[in-house]
Amino acid sequence: MKRAVQVRLYPNKRQQELLQKNFGACRYLYNRSLALKKYAYQKFGVNISAHRLIKRLPTLKERHPWLKEIDSQALQQSIRHLDEAFKHFFRRIRSGETPGFPKFKSKKHKQSFQYPQRVKIDGKKLYLPKIGWIKTKGLRDDLVGTIKTVTISYEAYRYYASILLEIEAEPIEFVREPIGIDMGVVYAVIDSSGNHHTIEDYSPRYQKELAKLERYQKTLSRKQKGSKRYQKAKIKLARGHKRVSNIRYNFLHRISHIYGENQAIVEDLNIKAMTKSAKRTIENSGKNVKAKSVLNRKILQNGWSLFFVLLEYKTNHNLIKVDPKYTSQTCSRCGYVDKANRISQSRFVCRSCGFTINADVNATKNILARGIHGNNARQQPKVA
């Protein structure tokens, strides 16, 4: 079983320069290898393997001596990451998904490189090959396991290390009964016991941080691009985004920890399709574009996809996903299905038996029943 731990790095000036050189060299090698693979295939119909690209590294170092300052395994990993990107590209083609051809990396976005081995931990310090010992924040004394990879990243003008550990998997015993979980817009998470959670419940300053982001964005738009004030405003905006991201990540971790002790049952949602823009062309304009964009933003802010990922591994891949069809239209008491049962966003009144309940809680009870009895449970006999 693998476990990842992210820690903050505090490199000195010399180490910062070395880290930036590593980012630049790995990005250069990734982009150069991608361009070479595209050229070889378009010109000669030849696919250059990752093994052949790695074998070219010594020749490339003679041509560009500054590459010798970079750890060789970090350079090799950038080529392997490109190879993985192409494998995922062809997998998506075979499965009929949107292919997503590998793209060139930009220095304007998040930077990263990876060490596959030779990284050491000593107390609160982390040793990186050809860089040295770096002070950290977030390394716990009870950290156990074999280090598989360490990914160094530069985000919001700060340095981080993500340590991937191999640990012994312990069988999970669910201490509570099965529970149905529904994702919402007003409430981020609702369960079949009637509990509901929002990000604001766990971080009251969340809305203030979102308002700050709008203000920071407006301030940045008024600055002259390339000026010192523009750079200061850009840093402030990037760190504001990071704070919002951390608040959301903290909320999802805490909620998934609560439900990780249950046999969790959720809907199998296609979130990518649900958050697709309603915009069309000039000739074929979309409907309710503004309302749809607000809904999309709220879904993405609540972090539905990340919640499912966290819940999946915290239940040791025992998460049950059920068909979401008609869960919000089905009466959880008698099983009558009708769109008119849900008379408002929050109120559900069955047109057959008169059962009244919160609409989201009703949906979670249907999700729970489908998880226990299967997708053809008693709760959905026929559609009105």
Q: What are phi and psi of 331, to 5 degrees?
A: -75, 125
Give me the residue label for tokens 């060139």: 104
Q: Is the dihedral of CA 325, 329, 335, 340 positive or negative?
A: negative
String of DSSP letters for 310-351:
HHHHHTTT--EEE--TTTTTB-TTT-EE-GGGB-SSSEEE-T
Reading the block at residue 1, the tokens are 């079983």
C-alpha to C-alpha distance for 234 and 52, rounded to whole angstroms? 40
Listing DSSP states for 135-194 in one string gives: EEES--TT--SEEEEEEEEEETTEEEEEEEEE-PPPPP---S--EEEEE-SSSSEEETTS
Q: How far is CA 195 from the centre of its chain?
A: 25
To the query of whether residue 360 is one of the catalytic residues in this protein, the response is yes
Q: Which of 168, 182, 209, 338 is catalytic?
A: 182
Residue with tokens 């591994």: 313
Active site residue 338: no
Annotated catalytic residue, options 69, 201, 267, 338: 267
- Under a CB-based contact definition with an 8 Å cutoff, are residues 360 and 346 in contact? yes
Annotation marks residue 200 as catalytic = no
Both tokens assigned to 118 = 């030779």
Q: Cα dihedral sign for 146, 152, 155, 157?
A: positive
The C-alpha R_g of the chain, in whole angstroms, comes to: 25
Residues annotated as catalytic (active site), given as ranges: 182, 267, 360
